[in-house]
Structure 1
Amino acid sequence: MSSNHLLVSSALTAVLAMGLGASAHAETGAKEKCFGIAKAGANDCANLSGSHSCAGLATVDKGADEWNYVAKGSCHAKGGRTLDEVKAGARGGK
């Protein structure tokens, strides 16, 4: 009986660990930087202009060089621009 209990416990642990690993992987690949949507004091990290290098230091709402992480593919719906679009705009592309 003890060996059956150990076998079931081990199998359950393995299944749970696989599920947690898959969800962690999905979260890391499912985000993108979205520029122009951050509220003052609520940006996720350094801005593009280099005037600060930390989260929470945005001084205005929706600053063009301030960003927040959002679910990949949802940036435009929030009124923002992706990093590629911001870079293209800096080169005169968009």
Structure 2
Amino acid sequence: MPFKTAASPISALVIAAALGAALSQSAAAADSAEKEKCFGVALKGKNDCAAGAGTSCAGTSRVDFQGDAWRYVPKGTCEKTPSPTSPTGFGQLKAFKAKKA
């Protein structure tokens, strides 16, 4: 007579949660691989992160096109995105000292 066991509902939930978390992390990694941080293109309060000293992160940029605040943009588009405060007139892959717009 074969030995049979029933999987507990709790075990099933734990497995489902672990699979969901793994899939979510995979999707986030794939999404970020298709984007890059672009400094100097965010509007006031619309940055994704990094907004200089005295700020906490997302949504804390103080002015439009702040040189030390970034937004995620599709990979390969940052240095083609207009930024009136950038030395080149376009977004930068690193923070910069903003010129007057």
TM superposition score normalised by structure 2: 0.54
Which is bigger in relative contact order (C-alpha 8 A, separation at least 6)?
1
Amino acid across the alignment from 1:69: Y
1:44 corresponds to: 48
Q: 2:93 — aligned with what? A: 82
Question: Matches of 1:76 and 1:28 in 2, distance apart?
Answer: 17
Measure how far apart 1:82 and its partner are: 0.3
State the TM-score, normalizing by the size of structure 1. Answer: 0.58
Instruction: Give the aligned residue type for 2:64.
Output: D
Greater share of helix residues, 1 or 2?
A: 1
CA RMSD of aligned residues (A): 2.3
Contact 2:40 2:70 in 1 (8 A): yes
Larger Rg: 2
Percent pairwise identity: 46
Identify the residue that residue 5 of structure 1 maps to in structure 2: none
Q: Which runs of 5+ in 1 are unaligned?
A: 1-19
